[in-house]
Structure 1
Amino acid sequence: MIRSLSAPQLAFDIIVATLCVLLRSVLPFDSPAGWIMLLLMGAALAIRRLSPAIALAVAWAGAIIQMSGMLPPDAANLAILAVLFATARYGTPLVRRLGLASAIVGAVIATLYFLATGFTVALSTASAFVDAIPQLVFALVFSLGASLAVLVLSWTVGLLVRTADLARDNRRAAELSAREVAIEQERNRIARDMHDVVAHSLAVVIAQADGARYAAAANPDAAQAALATIATTAREALTDVRGLLAQLRHNQGPAPHPVLADLSALVQQLRDAGLGVDFVERGERPPVATAQQLAIYRIVQEALTNALRHGNATGNVGLQLEWGEAGASIVVRNRLRGGAEVSSTTGHGLTGMQERASLVGGSLHAGPEGDEFVVSAHIPLATAEAVS
């Protein structure tokens, strides 16, 4: 029943109501009922936003006292319009219904009160009443129409303002929800990129470090080459991570992404890390959109990185990239390490590959097949118009 108002809002309403009461009190009333009515209307005006229900009850009390004292319509009655507006603008569903009912019933009562006080002579005798029937009918219709128009219009304006505010709040909520979804999608994208960069780079660094450690005594040149590869890979990873962190800090656009032309360098990097890769590309490579190029690169990168980390190091990894009218097909096969148990449903890497494929409308399956772990993906290609 009591709404929450800020101190400035409450102070404003009280000051406005007080000024209205003071301005009306310049003209005196003939009876104490007039002063009581004025104070009640002023109180209703002051609390119309704080409690529309109480304000409506106080305004009705003032109107009843006014009619009981047979007082004519007064400027103080304008407070009723503000109260009706407040019931529709700020009130609960029950208060809004009571406000509309008050507007209709008040219009009827005001009309009857006007006729009773304005036609006392015509109502004094039967003959005078009969002669005044045309005037009474006209006054009844005109007064009722005017009263309904003024009172119901005040309530309707309040309802329209309330509806406009609700629509604006809904738009803001929708915009906020869309912004949160966009932020979550961007966060997931950066997380995928971070995982791809860090996991791949660390896998190469670990493999090279192990090789350098074993070859340090017997083959210093091989150890030096391994250390050089570690340094190069770490620098490239550091550059990529800095780019991703810059996007987080400064809300920059996406950093440059690897493309299909970088596949050969990726394969060579993994070969340098000790992973045998048999890369076969079939078909003529068509124009490929950037999103599809990134998806293909990241899927190949993650699949080869998993083979380096978890696969059998004695066997080569088969990488097949085939181009067709329906899109690109990717198949990566590597022998499982002896005694290893592989799950196709857990791990950020497998989840990331599946997300990469689904984001461009493709599909991916990863799991053990006999003594091999196979990653197979299909990436549909955009039309030539979309690529251009």
Structure 2
Amino acid sequence: MFRRLKTSQIVTDVVAAVVFFVIAWPLETVLASGAYRLEYGFGSVGHALFGLLIAALFSGALALRRLSPPLALGIAWVGALVQMGLGRPPSFSDVAIFGVLYATAAYGSRLVYWAGFASALVGALVITVYLFAGPVFAGGGLSWQTLPLALVVLVAGGFALGLSWTIGALVRTAVRARENREAQQRAEAETAAEQERVRIARDMHDVVAHSLAVVIAQADGARYAAAADPAVATDALATISSTARSALADVRLLLGQLRHRQGDGPQPTLADLEELYAQVRAAGVPLRVDVDPAPPGEPTAAAQLTVYRILQEALTNALRHGAPGSAVDVRLSWLPDRVELDVRNPVVPGSQPGRSGHGIIGMRERAQLAGGRLDAADEGGAFIVRATIPLGGPA
């Protein structure tokens, strides 16, 4: 029944209605003078009160047109019926009807929307009948001679009232189109922000999880071997230091992207795989890498980054869940249209790699974003990650 409006909108409507009333009441009083007052036998005070009532009704409808279009439409109809019941001619107060019809189309509910349309049609017919079959305002009442004039009045009234309603309907359509456009833009912005958060989280997970796995493996090895061979501890600390510095540089890069949105910056490529393999080997994991066939030319940057990050996470899982001292097999097949990746490592009996955390999810997302697919599962005591990445797929 009532719409939510800003205080400024309510104040504007009330002020406009008051100004309208100040103009309409004197005009309604003037219309009550002369022949109309004598014909109906009312005195000046009575006609002034009737004019006050009609002006107040239409002014009230005008004040409520945006706050409550159905209530405004009802008050406008009451004002029109009172006006006709008193036998008064059309006046300045009737201008408020156009504003009310506009509001029903622009702001009303679906029911009020069509009620306004029906009111425009019925109102034109009522006005015509009133003027030609009611009090004699058009000269002679309704007859064959005045029928053409009555039709003209009917068409003109329907056009005027319908035009007000149509303008409101056009405004309603424009407002809804703007709201839909804004909602779509908000949804697109939220989707883009969510995708960016997922990308940052995926990169942070890959960088931090791998680096911490290497650091933990080196620290554990150094702690057990330091008593027998201090040189092993020194080498382990060097590996920890280089791994931590590399991870810190990657984290700073990701934080810079998150803060400034100035491009992606340099990303790992196939040339960085040897360093990745060296970190895993330095952590005490035997690593066998088989590349057959070799890359046919220079793969796209997206394909290189996808392969690097999937290998990084798969090797991190091998460090965390692999059987101690067991070898990890990596196979890369660079075919003309795709690259096939296979990482296989024995696991400790009873362990369930990939059942918790976000590593498998992140690898699968990377493969899907590149247009490929990834599967990870236990097979005969070994955990196997298989991925197929199309070359030249979407970034």
TM-score with structure 2 length normalisation? Answer: 0.89
**Residue 125 of structure 2 contacts residue 154 of structure 2 at CA under 8 Å; is this kept in 1?**
yes
Matched, 1:73 2:90: yes
Structure 1 residue 167 corresponds to structure 2 residue 177: yes
Alignment of 1:143-162 (within 5 A): 143-162=153-172
Equivalent position to 2:346, from 309, 328, 335: 335
Sequence identity percentage = 48
Aligned in 2, Cα 1:133/1:327: closer, same or farther, shift over 3 Å? same
Unaligned stretches of 5+ in structure 2? 33-46
Report Cα offsets for 1:222-263 as digits up to 9, x if no partner: 211211111111111112122223333344433422111111
Residue of structure 2 in register with 1:126 after alignment: none
1:313-346 CA distance string (max 9 Å, x none): 3232111111112311111122223x33325554
The structural deviation recorded for 1:185 is 1.3
Paired AA for residue 239 in structure 1:
A
Corresponding residue for residue 66 of structure 2: 49
Matched, 1:294 2:312: no
Please give the secondary structure, in 2, of the residue aligned with 1:15: helix
Equivalent-residue separation in structure 1 for 2:171 and 2:203 (angstroms): 48
CA deviations over 1:331-379 (Å, ceiling 9, x no partner): 1122223x33325554311221111111112122222222322222111
2:262 pairs with 1:245 = no
The yes-or-no answer on 1:115 pairing with 2:126 is no
CA distance in 2, matches of 1:309, 1:346: 13
Rounded Cα–Cα distance in structure 2 between residues aligned with 1:87 and 1:368: 66
Match of 1:215 among 225, 244, 252: 225
Partners of 1:115 and 1:139 within 8 A in 2 = no
Partners of 1:356 and 1:101 lie apart in 2 by 59
SS in 2 for 1:133: coil
Distance 1:211 1:341, change over 3 A: closer
Tell me whether 326-335 or 294-303 shows the greater mean CA deviation: 326-335
One-letter code aligned to 2:140: A
Structure 1 length normalisation: TM-score?
0.91
After the TM superposition, which of the residue ranges 48-57 and 310-319 deviates more from structure 2? 310-319
Whether the 8 Å CA contact 1:84–1:99 is kept in 2: the answer is yes
Instruction: Indicate the SS of the match to 2:361.
Output: helix
Corresponding residue of 2:200: 190
Question: Given the alignment of the two structures, is residue 94 of structure 1 paired with residue 104 of structure 2, yes or no?
Answer: no
Give the alignment of 1:218-233 within 5 angstroms: 218-233=228-243
Residue in structure 1 matched with residue 215 of structure 2 by the alignment: 205
Q: Aligned residue pairs: how many?
A: 376
RMSD of Structure 2 on Structure 1 (CA) = 2.0
Distance 2:82 2:357 in 1: 78
Q: Which amino acid aligns with 2:339?
A: A
Contact persistence 1:204–1:230 (CA under 8 A): yes
Corresponding residue of 1:254: 264
Residue of 100, 108, 111 corresponding to 1:83:
100
